[in-house]
Structure 1
Amino acid sequence: METGERSIFSRIIAGEIPADVVYDSERIIAFRDIAPKAPVHLLVVPKTEQYRDVVELAAGDPALLAELVATAQKLADEHADGDFRLIFNTGAGAGQTVFHVHAHILGSPDGGLEEGSLGDD
């Protein structure tokens, strides 16, 4: 992200862009992906713009990463029968298009998720 340029996630957090929010805490927000790749496809996003990807987050604030993963489990319990795939796309070559760290939760309400369904940004 260029200096001064805010990510779409920062704009959602600020309330400038609407989203179907399923979780909101002091440090994390989660909402439904607008182009779902599975019956349940949620994005879990730290509210800070400080970290571009999961590697930066793990190095800079491991407690926030742990909170993000715990939030993913809570949301999977509520929306996907507890079973889920957690995906972090890291770098443009891996499909990351929004450089504000975020995780994709992919799952299904009945617990069935096809192998090969991946979360693309």
Structure 2
Amino acid sequence: PSTATIEGPSFPFPAPGLHVPPTVIEDLSTCLGNLEYRHRVLMRKMEEVSDAEVAANIAIGEIHLRVATLGEQVYVMESQAVQVVSGLKEIETRVQLVESRVDTYSSGQMALPGQDEIVGLSQQVHTL
């Protein structure tokens, strides 16, 4: 077999006066019609894929936005948790101080020094 490249159309126009049978023309016309049909189908599929890619990119963008929003919310909640823990530690320190005062105060008296502070701290704990 030859490896030479063939240039020009694969079906050159027939020489003037050369008879081309109608069946050959019909076969070529059918092949051309089939190629045109397959080309249209392929173009439609390419458009569908393109539309699907655009939709996927939009969905991905929305997901990124939601993730960023959730990240911000987590950051705010972490900050609030740190504040709550700090407040609880402060309250714990105050409660320990009041308890030490109560322990050292004589048990025979009705009113305890720091009793109001205990009530206030208790309310702060419930608020948190």
**Could you tell me the TM-score, scaled by structure 1's length?**
0.19
User: Which has the bigger relative contact order, CA under 8 A and spacing at least 6?
Assistant: 1
Which protein shows a greater Rg? 2
TM-score (structure 2 length as normaliser) = 0.18
Give the structure with the larger helix fraction: 2
Relative to its length, the structure with more strand (as a share) is: 1
